[in-house]
Amino acid sequence: MNPQPNSFLAEANELFSYSREIRRDLHRNPEIGFQEVRTAGIVARELGGLGLEVSTGIGGTGVVALLEGEKPGPVVLLRFDMDALPIQEETGAEYASINPGVMHACGHDGHVAVGLTVARILHAHQDELSGTVKFVFQPAEEALGGAKRIIEAGVLRNPTPDYCLGLHLWNTKPLGWLGLTSGAVMAGADLFTIKINGKGGHAAMPEITRDPIVTAAMLVNALQSIVSRNVSPMQSAVLSVTRINGGETYNVIPSQVVLAGTVRTYNPTTRDLILKRMQKQVDLVCQAMECSGELEINHLTPAVVNDPWVTEHLQALAQNVLPSAQIDTDYHTTISEDMAYLMQDHRSCFFFIGSANPVKGLIYGHHHPRFDFDEAALPNAAALMAAAAYNFLQENLPDQGN
């Protein structure tokens, strides 16, 4: 007899001690991108213990496992990221990092625990599935190109997924909140570096120099006009200069200043407009100040765009799986996520699970040294992900739309 959607939450709650144990072990022993050797070993051990077909070393330290259903059918890819951040932990938790300067400050330890819990739940229902679950544990999500590396290693082949699902524990929202939005939900990200070359000299004789510091100041102001005066108010975009380096002492005008920052957009047309205007501003401001400027763009990730039909399907499913959840169908963030690369050519959905709890003091945002989340979010995340995969591998799946 097939389970009811809300039974997945009960199953996830039964496995809560397992989820918590995995999460806390990984939190104590965090590993940054492409160094997740211990983490990958635990993942492979747990998945192999279920009798799944496991492949390791994918894109460096990635792990992929296949759970074959009783009957043929579609392939559902479930992705969970594994890497930590180069941050010194300040939580004081009993399970705080023992690796100096490294901590799980974004919740990826929880994502791995959720993924392994989902594997246990779906393994118990293996004979009810029509198709294949492809578990992907990805390295190096934190701006290191992990998704591109595992794609290059063939993670989207043999078998090719029909659906791709991902999630993120979200500490800007409280426990019990669920973000399930159709369309663009996370911004695409570009990183930029601008090198301004002038003519250095004595600070007491500025007339014989070509000052890149003054040029940089003018350029920062010019760049801030791009979003406010070139991008339509109907579109969202962010352009932030986050670093300025130049000069070494108080009485010398340097010959070079370097600016760096990020651009966030949802729409490729808006992105192209901003980058073109940036180049124009660099050329004109530097020319006016008799300096030269060089703009370099590093395209980090495209926007995360959820398939409307898949998202609507999950919205309806979530009402049964997490009946007490506050489901937000219009949530967007300018934070980026390289799951976008896995989603580009597949029917996909990336959703958010609220994990903050002010009563417990769990209020710090992602990438903060005091970041920690309410572990009660783990069963919520595992239940919805397991139910979603199970639902897409049923013979009586409703019409999939166009």
142 a known binding residue?
yes
Instruction: Give bridge partners of residue 135 from the DSSP assignment.
Output: 65, 78
- pLDDT above 60 for 394: yes
**27 marked as binding residue:** no
| Residues of the chain above pLDDT 70, percent | 97
49-56 contact pairs (CB < 8 A, 24+): 50/119, 50/120, 50/123, 51/123, 52/119, 52/123, 52/135
pLDDT in tens, 350-375: 999 999 999 999 999 999 999 999 99
What's the pLDDT tens digit per position in 22-44?
A: 999 999 999 999 999 999 999 99
Q: Are 90 and 149 in contact (CB under 8 A)?
A: no
Q: Are 169 and 82 in contact (CB under 8 A)?
A: no
- For 309-343, write each residue's pLDDT tens digit: 999 999 999 999 999 999 999 999 999 999 999 99
Say what the pLDDT of residue 396 is: 63
Give the residue ranges of DSSP H helices in 62-153.
108-124, 146-152
pLDDT digits (tens, 9 = 90+) for 195-206: 999 999 999 999
Give the span between the Cα atoms of 328 and 178, in whole angstroms.
6
Answer yes or no: is 106 a known binding residue.
Answer: yes
- Tell me the per-residue pLDDT of 41-66, one tens digit each, with 9 for 90 and over: 999 999 999 999 999 999 999 999 99
Domains along the chain with CATH numbers: 7-185+303-392 (3.40.630.10), 188-301 (3.30.70.360)
Model pLDDT, residue 3: 72
Q: What's CA 273's distance to the chain center, in Å?
A: 25
Q: Are strands 177-179 and 347-356 parallel, antiparallel or unpaired?
A: antiparallel
As a whole number of angstroms, the longest Cα–Cα distance in the chain is 86
Return mean pLDDT, the chain.
96
- Pairing status of strand 71-81 against strand 163-174: parallel
- Give the count of alpha carbons within 13 A of 104, CB side only: 29
pTM of the model: 0.94
Tell whether 168 is in a known binding site: yes
What residues are annotated to the active site? 83, 141
Q: Report pLDDT for 86.
A: 98
Tell me the per-residue pLDDT of 228-244, one tens digit each, with 9 for 90 and over.
999 999 999 999 999 99
pLDDT (tens digit, 9 = 90+) per residue, 180-225? Answer: 999 999 999 999 999 999 999 999 999 999 999 999 999 999 999 9
Degrees to nearest 5, angle at CA 178 with 131 and 103: 90
In contact, 380 and 100? CB cutoff 8 Å: no
Is 248 labelled as part of a ligand binding site?
A: no
At 115-154, the pLDDT tens digits run 999 999 999 999 999 999 999 999 999 989 999 999 999 9
